[in-house]
Every structure is written in C-alpha cells, then in structure tokens.
Amino acid sequence: MKVTLIAGAKYKKEFYQMGDEVEVESIHIPELIKAKVISPDTEVPEEPVETDINKMNLAQLKDHAEQNSIDLAGATKKEDVLAAILKAGEGNGTEPQGSTADQA
C-alpha cells in the first residue's frame, strides 16, 4: 500500500523524508500511525483471514478448531492440531466442517 509520510522515517533499511510516497506492507500501517510517521486518517486494511488450514499457524489453527467446535484432545503442536482438524472431517482443508453440505 502506498502512503505519504508526514515525518521523516526509516523503513526497511531505507531513509525517507516527510512528503515521500512509500510502498509499505499493510501489516505495518498501525505501527506507522502510532509512530506518527503517517496520517492517523490512513485506512488500516483488514488483515486477510487465512482459509487454507494447511497454511495456518498454530494460533490460527486453534482458533479455527474452537470456532468449529473441534475437540483438539489436548493437542499442543501444530502438526497434532492440524491432524485433529483433518480427523474431524475437514478433508480439503479450506471449508469449515458442514459449511455447505449441511445447508443442502
């Protein structure tokens, strides 16, 4: 996302001056606003929600399991949590259990 700096700053090992337009990663927008480097009026894009369970990190997998009432049976490692989710019937790894089949 391209932003205009309201103060000089260093971003990704490069120095920029006030008024420069800089391409930044959307995940950095909130911290740049907090540091008063970009305008507080800058729109903060929503963080994309990962839907492929094979690409989720451990915290996302646990949240996914909780939201879909999947018993993790004490699993604490990413591989074990992923296995529990797959065992619960999420074969393709992209759709929550029962999301389309139960509606038919």
For residue 104, pLDDT beyond 90:
no
Secondary structure (DSSP) of the chain: -EEEBSS-EEETTEEE-TT-EEE--GGGHHHHHHTTSB-TTS--PPPPPP--GGG--HHHHHHHHHHTT---TT--SHHHHHHHHHHTT-TTSSS-TTTTGGG-
- Predicted confidence at residue 41, as pLDDT, reads 93
pLDDT in tens, 16-65: 999 999 999 888 999 999 999 999 999 887 766 667 888 888 988 888 88
Per-residue pLDDT band for 100 (boundaries 50, 70, 90) equals very low
Percent pLDDT > 70 in the chain is 82
